[in-house]
């Protein structure tokens, strides 16, 4: 069990650019979640997958955000035309059905 | 809507006991979780309550009252390494989805 892995750890981008983050969950876990966290706040739910199916998306997830989990293993989160308000820590988590979420260390995005 | 309230900051002394409270009003309830998060690190799972009562795990205990929409996390024999943010989260709906409070930043002093 190597834990949930996220790449990159840090990303600095200019406003208007597209960015993509990757998450590798714990291998046996069938569920994968994306959360966003800003300083002094708790994580906010963005979306989750069961295997390769995206089962729920938050209203926070605008049309500029898209997530995929094509083979039911790793997942990517893409943000198009980034805005300064997108600056945050993007956390990925995975779990078995009905078990606690295990979080990765996150990708810190800074939009300048 | 979902509303989860916990104090923003708390300070306690090494070796002491501290109780971090959490109140919630959510549409749906499938369990309450506590996570610990050190600065710049991932949240790590501490405890889970779905039935009323106290769950004890070493120096950490968590209590739940579903009728009151209330939980607390009790930390005993505080150590400096316990300085962290403690996140209360409610599982609502399907899919293990968690709604988090803003977190309580605990500072342990000598």
pLDDT at B100 over 70: yes
**Interface touch B42/A99, C-beta < 8 Å:** no
Option in B41, B95, B100 nearest A42 (CB): B100
- Can you tell me the distance from the alpha carbon of B101 to that of B27, in angstroms, rounded to the nearest whole number? 15
Q: Does A44 touch chain B (CB under 8 A)?
A: yes
At residue A99, the pLDDT reads 87
CB contact under 8 A, A45 and B95: no
Which pLDDT tens digits describe chain A residue by residue (112 residues)?
Answer: 579 999 999 999 999 999 999 999 999 899 999 999 999 999 999 999 999 999 999 987 889 999 999 988 999 999 999 999 999 999 999 999 878 999 999 999 999 9
A93, A77 contact by CB (below 8 A): no
Q: Is A5 on the interface with B (CB under 8 A)?
A: no
Which pLDDT score is estimated for A1?
Answer: 54
Question: For residues A101 and B33, what is the distance between their CA atoms, to the nearest angstrom?
Answer: 10
């Amino acid at each position: 069990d190597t834990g949930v892995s996220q790449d990159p750890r840090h990303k600095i981008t200019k406003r208007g650019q597209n960015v993509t983050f990757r998450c590798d969950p714990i291998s046996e876990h069938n569920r994968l979640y994306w959360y966003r966290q800003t300083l002094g706040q708790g994580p906010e739910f963005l979306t989750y997958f069961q295997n390769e199916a995206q089962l729920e998306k938050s209203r926070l997830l605008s049309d500029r955000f898209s997530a995929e989990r094509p083979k039911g293993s790793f997942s990517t989160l893409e943000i198009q035309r980034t805005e300064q308000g997108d600056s945050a820590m993007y956390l990925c988590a995975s779990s078995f059905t009905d078990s606690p979420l295990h979080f990765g260390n996150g990708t810190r995005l800074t939009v300048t | 809507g979902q509303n989860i309230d916990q104090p923003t900051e708390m300070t306690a002394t090494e070796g002491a006991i501290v109780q971090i409270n959490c109140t919630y009003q959510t549409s749906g309830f499938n369990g309450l979780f506590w996570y610990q998060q050190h600065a710049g690190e991932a949240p790590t799972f501490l405890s889970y309550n779905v039935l009323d009562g106290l769950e004890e795990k070493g120096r950490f205990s968590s209590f739940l009252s579903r009728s009151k929409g209330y939980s607390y996390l009790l930390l005993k024999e505080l150590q400096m390494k316990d300085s962290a943010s403690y996140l209360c989260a409610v599982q609502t709906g399907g899919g293990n989805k968690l709604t988090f409070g803003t977190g309580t930043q605990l500072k342990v002093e000598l």
